[in-house]
Chains A and B, each alone.
Chain A
Amino acid sequence: MKHKTDVWQGTLALMVLRTLDAMGPQHGYGIARRIEQISDDALSINHGTLYPVLLKLEQEGAIVSAWGVSDNNRKAKFYRLTAAGRKQMALEEREWGRANAVMARFFRVKEQLP
Chain B
Amino acid sequence: MKTLRRAWMRLMGTLTHSRDDEFLSEIESHIQMQTVDNIRAGMSAAEARRQAVLKFGAVAAIREEYRTVGGLPFIETLVHDLRYALRQLAASPGFASVAILTIALGIGATTAIYSVVDATLLHPLPYPKPEQLVRIQEDFPGIGALDVRLSVPEWRDFQNSGIFQYVCPAVSGSVNLTGSSQPTRIQYKGVAPNYFTLLGVKPELGRVFHPDDPTPGFNLEVVISDGLWKRDFGADPHILGRTLRLDNDANVVVGVMPPDFHDQGRTTEIRNTEIWAAFGFASPELPPPVRSSRILKTVIARLQPGLTLQAAQSRIDALVASLQKQFPADYPPESSWRVHLVPLAETMVGNVRQPLLLMMGAVGLVLLIGCVNVANLLLARATARGREMAVRQALGAPRMQLVRQLLTESLLLSMLGGIAGMAILFFTKKFLLEIIPAALPRLHEISISWTVLLFALGVSVLAGAFFGLAPALQAAKVDPINVLRREGLGSKGSKGQTLTLSALVVTEFAFSLVLLIAAGLLLRSFWDLYNVRLGFDPENVMAVSLWLPNPDDPATDVYGTPDQEARFIREILRRGRSLPGVTEIAAGTQEAIPLNHDKNVLSFVLEEGSTRSDLPHQVQGASVTPEYFHVLGMPLLRGRLFTEFDIASAPRVAIVNEAFARTWWPDQDALGKRVRLSQPGRADTSWTTVVGLVTDARTETLEDTSTPQIYLSSWQRTDKNLAIFLRGRLDPAALPQMARDMVQSLDQELPVFGAKKLPDVVSGSLAQRRFSMEMVLLFGLTALLLAGIGVYGTISYIVSGRTRDIGIRIALGAQRKTILHMVLSQGLALALMGAAVGLVGALTVSHLMAGLLYGVSPGDPLTFIGLTVVLVVVALVACYIPARRAMRVDPIVALREA
Q: Does A associate with B in a complex?
A: yes
Point out residues on A near B: beta carbons under 8 Å.
Answer: 5, 27-29, 32-33, 46-49, 51-52, 55-56, 58-61, 70, 72, 74-77
Task: Answer yes or no: B484 CB below 8 A from chain A CBs.
Answer: no
**A32: shortest Cβ distance to chain B, in Å?**
8
In the bound complex, CA of A61 to CA of B4 (Å): 11
* CB-based contact A61/B5 at 8 Å: yes
Query: Which residue of A48, A49, A60, A72 contacts B5 across the interface (Cβ within 8 Å)?
Result: A60
In the bound complex, CA of A32 to CA of B57 (Å): 13
Chain B residue nearest in CB terms to A45: B57
* CB-based contact B56/A46 at 8 Å: yes
Task: Answer yes or no: B730 CB below 8 A from chain A CBs.
Answer: no
Query: Which residue of B2, B25, B59 contacts A61 across the interface (Cβ within 8 Å)?
Result: B2
* CB-based contact A29/B34 at 8 Å: yes
Task: Answer yes or no: B440 CB below 8 A from chain A CBs.
Answer: no
* CB-based contact A27/B29 at 8 Å: yes
* CB-based contact A51/B26 at 8 Å: yes
Task: Answer yes or no: B58 CB below 8 A from chain A CBs.
Answer: yes
**A99: shortest Cβ distance to chain B, in Å?**
20
Q: Which of B65-73, B542-550, B753-761 contacts A (4 or more CB under 8 A)?
A: B65-73
Task: Answer yes or no: B381 CB below 8 A from chain A CBs.
Answer: no
In the bound complex, CA of A70 to CA of B37 (Å): 13
Query: Which residue of A48, A60, A74 contacts B29 across the interface (Cβ within 8 Å)?
Result: A74
**B49: shortest Cβ distance to chain A, in Å?**
14
In the bound complex, CA of A49 to CA of B58 (Å): 9
**A50: shortest Cβ distance to chain B, in Å?**
9
21 pairs of residues in contact across A and B, judged by CB atoms under 8 Å: A27-B29, A27-B30, A27-B33, A46-B62, A47-B56, A48-B59, A48-B62, A51-B23, A51-B26, A51-B62, A52-B65, A55-B66, A56-B6, A56-B69, A58-B9, A59-B6, A59-B70, A60-B5, A61-B2, A70-B29, A74-B29
In the bound complex, CA of A49 to CA of B9 (Å): 20
Instruction: Give the one of B2, B23, B33 with max A CB within 10 A.
Output: B33
Given A51-B62, A59-B5, A61-B2, also A29-B33 (CB < 8 A): yes
* Chain A proximity mask over B39-75: 1 for CB below 8 Å, otherwise 0: 0000000000000000111110010011011100000
Q: Is the interface of A mostly helix, strand, loop or mixed?
A: helix
* CB-based contact B62/A52 at 8 Å: yes
* CB-based contact A60/B26 at 8 Å: no
* CB-based contact B30/A29 at 8 Å: yes
Task: Answer yes or no: B32 CB below 8 A from chain A CBs.
Answer: yes
In the bound complex, CA of A58 to CA of B19 (Å): 13
* CB-based contact A47/B55 at 8 Å: yes
A-B pairs, 4 with minimum CB distance: A46-B57, A48-B62, A48-B57, A59-B9
Task: Answer yes or no: B27 CB below 8 A from chain A CBs.
Answer: yes
Chain A residue nearest in CB terms to B13: A59
Task: Answer yes or no: B10 CB below 8 A from chain A CBs.
Answer: yes
Across the interface, which residues of A come within 8 angstroms of B26, CB to CB? 28, 51, 76-77
Query: Which residue of B2, B6, B56, B69 contacts A48 across the interface (Cβ within 8 Å)?
Result: B56
**B4: shortest Cβ distance to chain A, in Å?**
10
Known: A47-B56, A70-B29. 14 other contacts (CB 8 A): A5-B65, A29-B30, A29-B33, A46-B55, A48-B62, A51-B26, A51-B62, A52-B62, A59-B9, A60-B2, A60-B6, A61-B5, A74-B32, A76-B30
Chain A residue nearest in CB terms to B37: A33
Across the interface, which residues of B come within 8 angstroms of A55, CB to CB? 66, 69-70
In the bound complex, CA of A103 to CA of B898 (Å): 67
In the bound complex, CA of A59 to CA of B9 (Å): 6
Task: Answer yes or no: B832 CB below 8 A from chain A CBs.
Answer: no
* CB-based contact A72/B36 at 8 Å: yes
